[in-house]
Each structure stands twice: as structure tokens, then as C-alpha cells.
Structure 1
């Protein structure tokens, strides 16, 4: 019905059936049939037909004057929606882990904005899992298994193994632990949300999982790293976030045969929403970025 109405308005404005058909990119006979269908639905003739021109009847003029503003308003709304959904522009709201977003993914935000200057990014950073749907965000970056079946997801990359690390000064003062039982008795630095430590022996496959009591606990890796470098204790940390400190010798591995498993990085978004082009572009950009980063590559 709405399509037939728009075609009728176009016929009146262009002055001929052929011109309206060309504007709509449909055959003239098809347009004639749809016009006839509209007239049958309304129960009156809308146009006087002649060999050269079509002019509205009295009822046609009345119908045209009433419907024209509605058709134009709908066309404008559709055009605006098309821009919103199909052009890479506008605001993207993102939930992301603070440490990952601040460190490994930091260059990705900058390069995305450079590539798509008509977009805006609004990041809400938190190291705990937030409610994506309730927050109104477009997409969330999450690490680890994603059991929520109400969300779509795309694997972006992989956070490498977690390592037990400490400063050379701490190990010089306290000695290096020689077993997991001895490790549990040492001063530990806890960076939530990695509050449960699960490590596996590389040769035997033995797995140890426990919730340590820390000498220093913080809900972020950066301060935990500083605490470990300062000699406060042993830290369980993703390789992707401590590799620079290991290379510089500020930290060294403890019990190197014991490691935590790699964790996959996902982009997740609501199944209930159409994904605008700007969000799709961001997801693709992050996936490509992760595959170019040795610390995040799958």
C-alpha cells in the first residue's frame, strides 16, 4: 500500500506514467497495474488518462494533497536511516576490559578513527563483565569463554599464556619457590578479575586451581605490575601485558614450567539489533589488528 501511494505521488509530480516509471526503475505496465490496484482499493479513479499526460481527478487531487507530506516525510526518514545503518559514520559505544583496551588494543582505537574520521568512539572500560544489553552499548570486547547464547560473537584474537612473574629483587630476598605448594605460601600480587589462579604443568599436564590470598590486590593489571616490579610479591599475569617488563628484566618468570592457558578475545553484540556499518567496520578493524599483533594473534 505504501509503495503504491509513493508511486501515485510520483506520477502526479512528474506529470506522466512513463517518467514516474523511469524514476522508480520499473516497467511502465507494472506501474499501471499498481496504480489500478490502488484505485481499486480506494474505490475511485485517481487520474484522468490521456495519450500525452495524466492529471489527477478531483478525488485524486484531494488524496495527493493529503498524502504528499506523508510520503516525503517517510522518504526523508528512510534516507536518514540508510545513512545511519549503511555508512561508516556516527557514534559507537564500546565496553572493553580496561587493561586490554589501554595496552594491546590502544593503537587500534587510534587507527580506526584515522581510517574512519566520520565516526566517534565512546569507550567504557572495566575489568569486570558488564551487561551489554542493559548498558545500551553497541559492542563489547571480552576475554575468555562466552557462554551467553543471547549474544552474537566474533573471535578477534587470543591473549597468550599467563605467566607467574616476580622481580629479581623479590627473588633475591626470598628465594625462588620450587613447587606450587611453596608458591602458595609466598607473598602474592592479585590482579582481579584473575582472582582464581589456574596453572598447568607443561610436561605432565597436571592442573592446579585455587583462589590465592594476596599481599596486594587490585582490580587492574597496571598497578599490579608496578607492585610486582617493586618487589611486593609474585604475580600471575597475561603474557601480552607483561612481555615488555620481561624483556627489560624488570620481571622474571617463576616456576616457568607452570603456565595458565591462553584466552580467546571476542567482540560480542546483541542479537536483537541490526548491526550498523560503523559497528561492523570496527569489528573487522579490531580482528585485522589482532592478527597483525604478535601478542594477540590466533
Structure 2
């Protein structure tokens, strides 16, 4: 029995959520994949998948086996590369999770650049604005912007983005003049939903720090929507520079209270807390650490 082949087909079926998709990727048929997984279940003596007309779902035993199997397959591929003298030529599929706006502004282009450098690696870039379960969702590397980090994970901070108060020039011209942080209470403040600090905003000017309570009728859980709302003149927002630097340069947005700034937004790379880390994950994180800090709106936190 080719156990490694059966494990590959099983892990890809779980990753892709479909026996047919796993079959297409492997260049075989759906019945062949189904029989392979049946054989693996018989060999293990446990049911790994629940199949239905709407798709498939890993059982609790299947989820545990999936994580261990992916790790074993990664180690096997790295061992092959090492013994053949090509350890630098990492292979396999890299599953990356990141916020939508960051993916659109930076990661999509960086992923293409990385793929060109490493032709034997594939990337599955999952963009959403929720915190995923790294292990449960089979994510190798998650890109996090600020906020608390998920449990049972390891984080590597690689860059910071300054945050400033910004608004459309037309909005600033039509509303009460901002002269000090407390004046924010007279303005419509647009913010990200579900912030731990709620409506409170802390601003710094040198060693001086002030916390003010803002007010606003609109909050949204997507950075692109915040950017669009600010451009439309809907209010003021405290935004990281990576999100708005181009609009500031073009004059479509302007800084308010330019002497004051918010706490810089941290960008961290997060991966499951486990002893073994695939070579492709290490390569990708090193690549991002070297590239993101040099992009407009960012400063690197990586030691030179």
C-alpha cells in the first residue's frame, strides 16, 4: 500500500473541500480518490470523512490526522530535497491568510514575485478580515495587522505602519476646525468595527499622550470600505499609512492634526506553534520580512 500517496490525496481533499478538486489536482478521477481514502480509512480503522450530497467534512479523527499527515508529508518532502542536495529548492503548497485590503495592496503582487523565485512552490492566498483557526483551516502563515494574536501560535513582527488622522479636504473645509485632539468629538469618526478600545482613540505628540472619545454613526470591518468612505467625505479616520499614503500624496486625502499620531500598526507573521515548520513557510516569511518594510507606508522592524 502506498500510504504516502493515500495521505496526499486525503490531505488535499480536506484542504480543497472536494474529492473532485483533489482528483483534478492529482490528474486522476474522483472515484479513484474516493477509493484511496476508503483504503486509508480501512488501514487506520477510523472514519476520516463524512460525505454528503453537499460536500465532505472531516470527522474529529480526520481533522487530527489531517494536521499530523500534512506535517509528515512536509517533512518527507524536505528530507527528499535535503538528501538530493536541493534543500534550497522548497516544494509544495503554501496556504497563506491575510486581511483583504493588505492582500489587494501588497500581498497579491508579492506572492507573484515569490512564485517567480520558487517555481516548485504553490500559494493559496485566502483573503478575509477574520481571525482564522491556523490549525483547523490548514493555514501555514497568517499575516496579522495589530490586535491580539491567536492562541497556540508563534508570531514574528516584521514591520510597522504609522497611523494618522485623515479626511477628504472637502470634509475638513466644511466642518469645525480641528485644533486639538478633544475637537474630534465634534466630527464624524469612521472606524473599524469590533475594536477592543471601542470609540476611544489614543493620540501621541512626542512624549505626550491623550485619549479621547470619538463619535460616529458608521463603523465597518473592512479597511477598503473605510478608505472609500473617507474619500467620499464621510468623516475622519485614524488610518495606517500603508492604506492611504497614495491618496495623501495625490491630495485626495489630507492629514488632520498632523502633529498628533496614533500607535503604529504592527504587521506580524503568525504560524502554528509546532516544532517543525516547512521550508516553504520559512522562505516565504523571510521574503516578506525583507520586502514589506521597504514598501511605501511601512518601516521595517527586522534587524539589519
- TM-score, normalised with respect to structure 2: 0.64
Aligned to 1:115: 117
Q: Which structure would you say has the larger Rg?
A: 1
- Correspondence list, 1:14-33, <5 A: none
Q: What is the deviation of 1:233?
A: 0.9
Aligned to 1:82: 79
Aligned to 2:245: 243
How far apart, CA to CA, are the structure 2 residues paired with 1:197 and 1:116?
45
Structure 2 gaps of 5+ residues are: 1-73
What's the secondary structure of 1:260's corresponding residue? strand
Deviations 1:85-136 (A, max 9, x none): 9541211111112222221333211110111122111122222322222222
Q: What is the deviation of 1:200?
A: 2.2
Q: What is the deviation of 1:143?
A: 2.2
How far apart, CA to CA, are the structure 1 residues paired with 2:76 and 2:153?
29
- Equivalent of residue 264 in structure 2, options 255, 262, 265: 262
Aligned to 1:177: 178
CA contact (8 A) 1:246 1:252 kept: yes
How far apart, CA to CA, are the structure 1 residues paired with 2:266 and 2:75?
39
- Correspondence list, 1:189-204, <5 A: 189-192=190-193, 197-203=200-206
Deviations 1:238-262 (A, max 9, x none): 1111111111110111112221111
How far apart, CA to CA, are the structure 1 residues paired with 2:110 and 2:295?
10
- Equivalent of residue 135 in structure 1, options 128, 137, 152: 137
Aligned to 1:208: 211
CA contact (8 A) 2:143 2:270 kept: yes
Q: 1:178 to 1:91 in 2, by over 3 A?
A: same
Q: What is the deviation of 1:166?
A: 0.9
Aligned to 1:217: 219
Q: What is the deviation of 1:141?
A: 1.0
Aligned to 1:104: 106
How far apart, CA to CA, are the structure 2 residues paired with 1:204 and 1:278?
42
How far apart, CA to CA, are the structure 2 residues paired with 1:206 and 1:78?
49
CA contact (8 A) 1:170 1:232 kept: yes
Q: What is the deviation of 1:295?
A: 2.5
Q: 1:178 to 1:107 in 2, by over 3 A?
A: same
Q: How many residues align?
A: 221
CA contact (8 A) 1:162 1:261 kept: yes
Q: What is the deviation of 1:232?
A: 1.0
- TM-score, normalised with respect to structure 1: 0.66
Aligned to 2:164: 163
How far apart, CA to CA, are the structure 2 residues paired with 1:288 and 1:274?
22
How far apart, CA to CA, are the structure 1 residues paired with 2:75 and 2:288?
30
Q: 1:206 to 1:153 in 2, by over 3 A?
A: closer
Q: What is the deviation of 1:213?
A: 4.1
- Equivalent of residue 231 in structure 2, options 222, 225, 229: 229
Compute the RMSD of aligned alpha carbons.
2.8
CA contact (8 A) 1:127 1:193 kept: no
How far apart, CA to CA, are the structure 1 residues paired with 2:121 and 2:207?
50
Q: What is the deviation of 1:217?
A: 2.2
Aligned to 1:276: 278
